[in-house]
Amino acid sequence: MLPPPEKLESVRPFKLVEFFSFSSLAVIFIFTFVLTYIISDRARTVLLKKSEEYALLLAENLNHQVYLQFVVPTAIAYGSISLREPEQFSLIDRVVRNTIHSFRIDSVNIYDAGENIIVYSTDPSMVGKRNLGGMEYKLALRGQHSSQLVSRGGSWVFWAGGGGGEKKLKTYIPFRHEKVLTWKTGPIMGVFEITQDLSVDYETIQGFLIMVIITSTAIMTILFVVLRLIVARADRIIYKRVLEQRKLEEQLHQAEKLASLGKMVAAVSHEIKSPLGIIQSTAEILENKVKAFDPQNRLASIVVAESNRLNRIVTEFLDFARPQIPHFVRCNVIEIIEKNFNFLEPELNKSGIRVEKNFASDKVIIDGDPDLLYRVLLNIFVNAIQAMPDGGDLIVGVNIAGKPEHLEISVRDTGIGISPEDIARVFEPFFTTKHKGSGLGLAIVKNIVEGHGGIIKIESEGGKGATFIIDFPVRHA
Ligand code: ADP
């Protein structure tokens, strides 16, 4: 399991991805709002321009129709034009309504040219109102058309021009005399005020913008979440790599330490071995002599036994310190195992251990070093016997399987078992739980197995015995 984030901080080499995820979020955010502003402003400008053109087209038509169908006939019939006369009013009303009936128009007002009074309106309540024209009316009297956007209500959302509420575009166009049968226009008689309701169009644009903002925000959020996930994953990978690197460094350090320790042990053991040999043989001579005249005296026998034990330990030290380079020859694994059992038979009988042999065949031939393999199995069998002081079962299996072929040797005992914490340590040199153990047996075993290109593993539940599994690739010369 990885340690908490504060510890993680210390091994993170850089925060580029994290920086990237936050900065990209900010960039997308700013970009979205700038883009939305530009789109909305452009949409509003285009809408106003098109609406004004629409009003101008209508005004041209209105000018023509009102002049031909109302001004001229009325002037002929009545001598003068007065819209206060109901007949004249209803005539112009008919003409105007006929002209605008298929256009999307809110209202049409006609101002007179002298006094800024509404003389005609499609909304009768407006007729007679004064001074509503403003600057646009004056410009129209000078022959220029212009428009004015009138807003009522609205919200901040539509920030390019204010959104929602009521939006009306009022366009003011001069109303002129026409010179019949020519394209020329005459003097200005009044001003048309054409009002279009743009509220729905504005709302459509506003809806579109809200959609753009929501979509961009959603994309931004997804992108950010994805980037955060990548950051977290990258962090973990980097952290794992740093840990692996540290572990390798530690292993290298440990290997260097062991190598120098091994050299020292080898030198000391070598120096001890010769005097120890002399002590051993002298003690044996002494033992025989003491036995001759004092058979009860055990002192010399104790010296012999202890010097033997010391010799075994020194030999193990030397074995551990010396590199175990295998000399590969063709050998029969079953024969090596049987040789071990012959040697261990007295011990097995003494401890009341039953041996079960599950061999695929009585000839399992591989290329290996028979002496080294003998020592591997001896160490494992001796440990198993020591783990079952009150007897038990020792089950040995040999099997060849797989492609490429692998030899699997399993040694199971029903002894005291190994705790999970100890399983990780038993192959360490000098690790022992025994009173008189050296803790080198399994370290030597591991060296030899790895020298054969194999692996060794242990399965054990504390108190329920242990199984050692050796897995060798089968070599054929
Ligand atoms: P030693 O036998 O000198 O202690 P080893 O390296 O052979 O050294 O073994 C290391 C330790 O592994 C032993 O002390 C023992 O605790 C444990 N061990 C090895 N084999 C077994 C086994 N079959 N059952 C229980 N414990 C074992």
Q: Give tens-digit pLDDT for 163-212.
A: 557 889 999 999 988 866 555 567 888 999 999 998 888 888 888 888 88
* pLDDT confidence band for 160 (50 / 70 / 90): very low
Q: Which atom of ligand 1 is nearest to the CA of 465?
A: 24
Mean of pLDDT values over 297-314: 86
Residue 185's contacts (CB-CB under 8 Å, 6 or more residues apart) are 176, 177, 178, 179
Q: Evaluate whether 331 touches 371 at the Cβ level (below 8 Å).
A: no
CB of residue 174 inside a 6 A radius of ligand 1 = no
User: Do the bridges between strand 406-413 and strand 392-401 make them parallel or antiparallel, or are there none, so unpaired?
Assistant: antiparallel
pLDDT at 400 over 70: yes
Our mutation pick for probing the ligand 1 site, out of 395, 412, 426, counting the most ligand atoms within 8 A of Cβ, is 426
Given this model, what pLDDT does residue 6 score?
Answer: 47
CA of 249 to the centre of ligand 1 (A): 28
Cα separation, 471 vs 367, in Å, equals: 14
Atom 26 of ligand 1, residue of closest alpha carbon: 418
**Separation of alpha carbons 253 and 300, rounded Å:** 45
**Residue 426 Cα, ligand 1 centroid: separation in angstroms?**
6
For the ranges 192-196, 289-293, 314-318, the one whose mean pLDDT is highest: 192-196
Q: How many CB atoms lie within 10 A of CB 184?
A: 9
Average model confidence (pLDDT) across the chain: 86
116, 132 contact by CB (below 8 A):
yes
Alpha-carbon distance 352 to 390, whole Å? 7
CA–CA separation, 430 vs 437, rounded Å?
9
Q: What is the mean pLDDT of residues 249-257?
A: 86
HSE toward the beta carbon, residue 172, CA cutoff 13 A: 25
Q: Who's near 171: CB < 8 A, 6+ residues apart? A: 51, 52, 55, 56, 59, 145, 146, 147, 192, 193, 194, 195, 196
Q: What are phi and psi of 129, to 5 degrees?
A: -70, 145
Identify the pLDDT of residue 256: 86
* Atom 23 of ligand 1: nearest residue by CA position: 384
CA-CA-CA-CA dihedral for 159, 163, 168, 169, to nearest 10: 30
Atom of ligand 1 nearest to the CA of 427: 6
**Per-residue confidence band for 476, with pLDDT thresholds at 50, 70 and 90:** low
Given a cut of 60, is residue 452 above it in pLDDT? yes
Q: Is the CB–ligand 1 distance for residue 348 below 6 Å? A: no
Give the pLDDT confidence score for residue 181 in this predicted structure.
57
Whether the CB-CB separation of 206 and 157 falls below 8 Å is answered with: yes
**CB 316 near ligand 1, within 6 Å:** no
Instruction: Measure 382 CA to ligand 1 centroid, in angstroms.
Output: 9
Residue 301 CA to ligand 1 centre (angstroms):
28
Predicted TM-score of the model (pTM): 0.49
In the numeric block, which tokens belong to residue 332? Answer: 């029969």
Name the pairing type of β-strands 353-359 and 392-401.
parallel
Rounded average pLDDT over 410-426:
93
Residue whose Cα lies nearest atom 18 of ligand 1: it is: 383
For range 236-247, the mean pLDDT = 91
pLDDT band at 293 (very low <50, low <70, confident <90, very high): confident
Cβ–ligand 1 contact at 387 (below 6 Å)? yes
Give strand pairing partners of 457: 469
**Binding site membership of 426 for ligand 1 (Cβ less than 6 Å):** yes
- Answer yes or no: is the C-beta of 434 below 6 A from any ligand 1 atom: yes
CB-count burial class (<10 Å; 0-12, 13-18, 19+) for 311: middle
Q: Is the CB of 418 under 6 A from ligand 1?
A: yes
pLDDT band with cut points at 50, 70 and 90 for residue 274: confident
User: Which atom of ligand 1 is least distant from the CA of 443?
Assistant: 6
pLDDT at 113 over 70: yes
What whole-number percentage of the chain has pLDDT above 70?
Answer: 91
Range with lowest mean pLDDT among 20-29, 73-82, 288-297: 20-29
Transcribe 76-129 into DSSP letters: HHHSS--TTSHHHHHHHHHHHHHHHTTS--SEEEEEETTT-BEEEESSGGGTT-
Residue pair 451/443 in contact (Cβ under 8 Å)? The answer is: no
Establish whether residue 215 lines the binding site of ligand 1, counting it when its CB lies within 6 angstroms of any ligand atom: no
Beta bridge partners of 331: 366
